[in-house]
Amino acid sequence: MTDSGGCELRDALERERILKERLAESEKERATLEAVLFASTARLAYWDTKTCNAFANRAFLDAFGYEEKVVGQHASEVVRDSVDAPLWAAALRGEPQRVARTIESGGKTRHVVVTFEPDVRDGEVHGFVSTESDITELHTALVLSEQRNDLLMMAEEVARIGHWRFDVATSEIYWSPQMYKIHGRDPATFHPGTGPEILAAYHPDDRKKVHDFMATSVSTREPFEFVHRLYLPNGELRQVESKGRCEVDPETGTTRTLFGIYQDVTERNRERETAARQERLVTAGTLAAGVGHEINNPLMYVSANIDLALEGVRALEGSVPQRRIDDLLELLADSREGSERIRRIVRGLRAFSRPDAPLAPTDTRSALDISESMSGHELRSVATIIHEFRDNSLILADESRLAQVLVNLLVNAAQAFVTQDPKRNEIVVRTLGIESERMAIDISDNGPGIPADVLPRIFDPFFTTKDVGKGTGLGLSISHSIIASMGGELTCSTEVGAGTTFRITLPKAKDVAFSDTERVSAPPSTKRRRGRVLIVDGEPAVRRSIERVLGDEHEVVIAESSQEAIEIIGHGERAFDVVFCDIALPLLSGVELFRRIRDRDPALADRFVFMSGGVYDPEAAQFLDGVPNERIEKPFNSQNLRGLARRFAAARDD
């Protein structure tokens, strides 16, 4: 054998060896791949061009109940169901197929995805691979995710909170559905686009602030929170709050996105302002009650002394030049009118400071008197008040809350006039019966009236046509609620250029006994016996003024405290016809004094008349509601005081 022949043989043997190694490696790889595929949990099978099986893994065989391989069997024999026959045919045409299915097995529901992938080599289909993957857990997770997303959307809608995401690289913005609602936009026609487009909707003074917050957060990767103003497409200005943080790339440390929540806080801020305003009003009311009490005591003896001075001056007629008498009477009459005005104002302050009381028979004239005194500074220089009292029936109401409504209506009427001219401007206060069981109070003005487009909204909360700082938009809304809570109705009729009338309708009170004021003001008895009167009051000037008023007709004994009164009564020289006792006494209150006397001498306790400069202690108020004794409020009229003393003195003779 030649050398060339030997070389060829060696080359042939080497090629054979290499080929065998490659075949061995290929067989090993094939076996490895087949082992992997056979062990896969996904159901795998290979089908040739005749739709006969060439391979099926363990998961596939188990699913269809086979112990041995099914190589060579047709798919319809293996699967025992020809429902997939069209899909097999499509796969053999080189068209991939994919279908999702829900399978009921063993009482359980499974979700699977079936695919038929063509085996295309050199442009020719050699068969196809079928796979079936169980995605039950994935499907469950997806359903839960969708449910959570639905709950998130519902929560956002209820709380009126939206969420957003800003891509730093592209400046693209994602909005949740609630974001569109907050902005007053339709997601079908509006896309948030990029940051600058959104900033254009913000108040001009807030745009830079929002931009700087976002830019700072991107660079520092710190959370952010800010409030700004947003213009809606209809021009309405709202307050919105945004809170969020950054998503940082773990590799580069740069900010990928900003995301956060967005809430319209306009109503919340208004409610906070309203609550703060109400708290200030409560504080003012408490202060007013205390101030009213402090004013009433000096006002009591000022008024009493003016009455006595008037009587004294009149007694001088004939002995002093009449012109001098007339001048003194005029001075005292003016002083008396001033003190009466102060009394009405203080009474109004006390009415407003009282908490809501149960509905009771109420004199409309009294409520109007309070409200006109309280609003006098607004009315006096603007318009003339005209009274038309056609029905004086008592109504079922809370005097303080009714007066609050009347003050609001009177002030609104005054502020409706364009010019301040009492000769032309008129406010008519009218009471009239509109039904047998109901009564109306009208507050009418001859001002400019209310435009037709404004009238439907006048009772809406926060709606106002007044200039900034002159109204909160709550007055008429609160008034409407107050009247409704008392079983009444507040309505409005108007004519542009002619004026406006607000009408309060409330039920009349039935079978009402005389009020305390009416009992105090009752005509004095014709019997004129000199009685014995005890005055218990901690204010020296008040004691002296009462003594001056009653001293000509009765024996007046003074006690400056409850302890002194107990000693005087216990001495027992002669019984007292009446005891005028102040509620607010130092150390031992008038209520405690009454209780101690009632235990010893119930008949004398019945002759207690309580005096008050403004009871704002809830316990004292509850006590007064529970006893039948007379009561008078400071400053009281001298004639009423004398009438009471005469009546009690006369009663001791009966």
Among 415-424, 511-520, 618-627, name the one with the lowest average pLDDT: 511-520
Structure confidence by residue, pLDDT tens digits, 319-369:
778 877 777 777 777 777 777 767 666 665 555 555 556 778 888 888 888
463's CB contacts (< 8 A; 6+ apart) are: 457, 473, 477
The pLDDT value recorded for residue 558 is 92
Structure confidence by residue, pLDDT tens digits, 3-26:
666 677 777 667 767 776 666 666
The torsion angle over the Cα atoms of residues 261, 262, 267 and 269, rounded to 10 degrees, is: 80
Structure confidence by residue, pLDDT tens digits, 391-424:
888 898 888 788 888 988 998 899 889 888 888 9
Does the structure show a pLDDT above 70 at 283?
Answer: no
The pLDDT value recorded for residue 556 is 92
Residue ranges of domains in the chain, CATH in brackets: 14-134 (3.30.450.20), 140-264 (3.30.450.20), 357-512 (3.30.565.10), 516-653 (3.40.50.2300)
Instruction: Give the pLDDT mean for 450-472.
Output: 66
Structure confidence by residue, pLDDT tens digits, 153-182:
666 666 678 888 888 888 888 888 888 888
The pLDDT value recorded for residue 190 is 84
CB 637 within 8 A of CB 517: no
Q: Which of 141, 145, 93 is nearest to 120 (CA)?
A: 93
The pLDDT value recorded for residue 533 is 93
Measured CA to CA in angstroms, residue 573 lies from 465, 532, 568, 569, 608 at distances of 70, 11, 9, 8, 18
CB 609 within 8 A of CB 578: yes
Instruction: Give the pLDDT mean for 200-221.
Output: 86
The pLDDT value recorded for residue 100 is 85
Kindly state the tokens that stand for 465: 């046509």
The pLDDT value recorded for residue 520 is 38
The pLDDT value recorded for residue 608 is 95
Instruction: Give the pLDDT mean for 86-105.
Output: 88
Measured distance CA(441)–CA(505) in Å, rounded = 7
Which one is predicted more confidently, 268 or 610?
610
The pLDDT value recorded for residue 534 is 94
Q: How would residue 513 be classed by pLDDT, with cut points 50, 70 and 90?
A: very low
